A and B are shown apart, each in its own frame.
Chain A
Amino acid sequence: MSFEVWQVAWFTTWVAAIGTLLILPPGIALGWLLARKHWPGKTLVETLVTLPLVMPPVATGLMLLKLFGRRGLLGRWCESVFGVEIVFTWRAVVIATAVMSFPLLVRTARLALEGVNPRYEQVARTLGAGPWRVFWTITLPLAARGLVAGAVLAFARALGEFGATIMVAGFIPGRTATLSLSIYHLVQLSRDNEAWGLLAISVALAFGALWLSEILLRKRPSL
């Protein structure tokens, strides 16, 4: 395998990891809100969050392009406040993968948190623990397995992201070249043999991540 292949693989893993880490706090928070609380507009939020999961990824990518482009609302804000551009950089790749993985994380986090018996949380409250402490010392540890499985699943999804990424980051060798984008590019250049190499890595990474996720989800201790 050539050096470039490893660079692409490393870049893909790295942005997927960053993207996943970025969505963990809001994903778990939203999962908790959906699992434990009832509030007006809950169904609307549930639907909106699930949207990227069901919409064509390029459609999501188009929306992100309009939002983060130089003339877009957030694009202009980022440029004026931080002086950084989003589209056509690695940041756009992170954003695209984060947005596409978010619904998956929220779903799994919600399931994991719903699986924690509320009785434990109630007893902890009567022992003097406020809601934050209950979350950190009781809810989170008990939901940990499911949450990690969700994070791994989100990571696996981020690894394979294509449609939204190509819209908002494009394929720029050395800057936004992920595994899936590179495979597409190589196929267009009729360099199929090299594409196979990248394909093998993609499959291996996805397989590994899913395997881990399955193991974590299966051995759930009876609560």
Chain B
Amino acid sequence: MAMLHTVNKSPFERRTLDSALRHAVKGSGILLIEDGVYAAFDGTVVSEKVKAALADHKIYVLGPDVNARGMTEKNVIDGLEIVDYGGFVDLVTEYDKVQAWL
């Protein structure tokens, strides 16, 4: 039973990404949406933490929110999967349940 964790706040504003990562068991998925997508970009002080998390989790980022914030897939950390809203829906149905870290 794998859980999808959604994180919607910037890792620089709030500690929800940290909380989510501390409680996401191996094999669970993390989806970054809204301001949460700022955790998806390479070259920041949280990039290494996110890369390390890839060892235990699939990490997804919502493309529309990436583009809205002036970034593209070139900025996204290697190994993160970019999805659109359709992909978001698919993730919700593929994982057994969803937890929103607000």
Mutual binders A and B: no
| Chain B interface (Cβ < 8 Å from any Cβ of A) | none
